[in-house]
Amino acid sequence: MQHEIISRPPASRPIAIEVDGEPLGVVVPSSEGYRFLAVRYAAFPLDGRIFESVEEARLTLGAAIHADDAA
């Protein structure tokens, strides 16, 4: 008996978000946009936030991380 392999559409897979080579979390496509799920403590303040694009998520996270570094 063979089982059919069912894979998720590529658009529904999580996309890793890295800043300066450090993974901070993933964005997951949702009906509202891209929901960010943090995996690093430094990114927790943005956990659950919805972004319009993956690039917006990367830019926002980069700005937040670099602002913390400057403080």
pLDDT value at 10 more than 60? no
65 in a structural domain = yes
CA distance 25 to 55: 14
Instruction: Let me know if residue 5 belongs to a domain.
Output: no
Tell whether 33 is covered by a domain: yes
Number of domains in the chain: 1
Tens digit of pLDDT for each residue in 24-70?
999 999 999 999 999 999 999 999 999 999 999 999 999 999 987 77
Higher pLDDT, 23 or 10: 23
pLDDT band at 15 (very low <50, low <70, confident <90, very high): very high
In one-letter notation, the amino acid at residue 14 is: P
Range of 58's domain?
13-70
Place of tokens 């319009």: 52
Which helix (H) or strand (E) element contains residue 16?
strand 15-19
The model's pTM is 0.78
Q: What is the dihedral of CA 35, 38, 44, 48, to 10 degrees?
A: 20
